[in-house]
Structure 1
Amino acid sequence: MTSPTDVESVEEANTAFYEAMERGDFEDVSALWLNGDGADDVSCVHPGWPVLSGRGEVLRSYALIMANTEYIQFFLTDVRVSVAGDTAVVTCTENILSGGPAEEAGELGPLVGQLVVATNVFRRTPDGWRIWSHHGSPVLAESDEDEDDEPPA
Structure 2
Amino acid sequence: MSAPHTDVEQVEAANTAFYEAMERGDFEALSALWLTPSDLGVDETYHDPADAGVISCVHPGWPVLTGRGEVLRSYALIMANTDYIQFFLTDVHVSVTGDTALVTCTENILSGGPAPDAGEELGPLVGQLVVATNVFRRTPDGWKMWSHHASPVLAENDEEEGDETPS
Q: Do they fold alike, i.e. is TM over 0.5?
A: yes
Which residue of 1 is the match for residue 45 of structure 2?
none
Distance 2:84 2:156 in 1: 26
SS at match of 2:137: strand
Which residue of 2 is the match for residue 126 of structure 1?
140
Distance 1:13 1:142 in 2: 32
Alignment of 1:10-49 (within 5 A): 10-37=11-38, 40=50, 41-49=54-62
SS at match of 1:21: helix
Which residue of 1 is the match for residue 156 of structure 2?
142
TM-superposed CA distance for 1:141, in Å, is: 4.0
The AA in structure 2 aligned to 1:11 is E
Q: Are residues 1:82 and 2:95 paired? A: yes
Instruction: Provide the TM-score with structure 1 as the length reference.
Output: 0.88
SS at match of 1:83: strand
Which residue of 2 is the match for residue 97 of structure 1?
110
Distance 1:26 1:33 in 2: 11
Q: How far does the alpha carbon of each residue in 1:19-59 deviate from its partner, in whole angstroms, 9 at most, with x for none?
A: 00000000000000001246631000000000000011000
Q: How many residues align?
A: 143
Which ranges of structure 2 fall in alignment gaps of 5 or more residues? 41-48
Which residue of 2 is the match for residue 65 of structure 1?
78
Which residue of 1 is the match for residue 126 of structure 2?
112
TM-superposed CA distance for 1:142, in Å, is: 2.6
TM-superposed CA distance for 1:138, in Å, is: 0.1
SS at match of 2:10: helix
Q: CA RMSD in A?
A: 1.8
Which residue of 1 is the match for residue 10 of structure 2?
9
Instruction: Provide the TM-score with structure 2 as the length reference.
Output: 0.81
The AA in structure 2 aligned to 1:121 is V
TM-superposed CA distance for 1:125, in Å, is: 0.2
TM-superposed CA distance for 1:103, in Å, is: 1.4
Which ranges of structure 1 fall in alignment gaps of 5 or more residues? none
The AA in structure 2 aligned to 1:142 is E
Specify the structure having the higher radius of gyration (Cα): 2
